[in-house]
Amino acid sequence: MVHGCSAAQRNAPLATRALAVLLTFAAALGAGAFPAVAADRPDHGEVTSHDCWEPSSTVKGCAVAGDDGQFRVTPSFRASLQFDRNGLAVVLVLGRSKGEAGRWFYVKRDGAMAAVMAYDNGAEEFTDGRARSPVGAKIGYIDRSLRLVIPPTYDGAYPFEKGVAVVCLGCSLVSEGGHSWYEGGTWGCIDPDGKPVVAFRPRAQQQTFAEICRAS
């Protein structure tokens, strides 16, 4: 490490001393004596770079996925985001291949992120202080601090409405004509704390969500 000039350098003329310092500094850089400036990527082992979508453009290399499977946006991209009054910004991270779907995330000012379900071609908004968050093949719910306050135990889940959310276990996602829904399994309702409102049971044909939550 370079700590300063030698006695000989201190007694030399100013121009000579300046040249000596520059040469010493260059040598130190070549030897790796100074720490490198952190690149626009997290220090989490192997990472894969992802692009992000914005209404007017695609931002290249805005996010990375670490070997821990967690996504993080780069500091420079985070600095360009518009945060709401709750300190959250919405980001769509694109898939790396043509057939890989993009994923919506909420991002905090400190860089913390949480995946959120898509709803009406955008990130699901918070209702009753909750938003659905996919974790692997399961679904849970986050709050506005991005804490997973309802564990990801459900195979299917819908947004909260009037203090309850319809969820299902053992159900499967069905898609047709741009619309998706769940079929099969057992169905029930939970409150914002994740407590069951009614017992889980198979859904009757054409049974509405209101009827599911009123079942006794």
Contacts 24+ apart (CB under 8 A), 149-156: 149/193, 149/194, 150/190, 150/192, 150/193, 150/194, 151/194, 155/182, 155/185, 156/182, 156/185
Alpha-carbon 173 to chain mean position: 23
Domain ranges of the chain: 1-36
- The predicted structure's pLDDT at residue 115: 96
- The predicted structure's pLDDT at residue 45: 54
- The predicted structure's pLDDT at residue 70: 86
- The predicted structure's pLDDT at residue 34: 31
- The predicted structure's pLDDT at residue 7: 45
Q: Say how far apart CA 31 and CA 39 lie, in whole Å.
A: 19
- The predicted structure's pLDDT at residue 100: 82
- The predicted structure's pLDDT at residue 96: 85
- The predicted structure's pLDDT at residue 101: 85
- The predicted structure's pLDDT at residue 106: 97
- The predicted structure's pLDDT at residue 9: 41
Point out the residues of the chain with pLDDT beneath 70: 1-46, 215-216
- The predicted structure's pLDDT at residue 121: 84
- The predicted structure's pLDDT at residue 56: 77
pTM above 0.85, yes or no: no
Q: Say how far apart CA 142 and CA 192 lie, in whole Å.
A: 10
- The predicted structure's pLDDT at residue 11: 43
What are the start-end ranges of the H helices in 32-165?
Answer: 75-79
Whose tokens are 């974790």? That residue is 135
Q: Say how far apart CA 84 and CA 133 lie, in whole Å.
A: 19
∠ CA 65-71-72, nearest 5°, is: 105
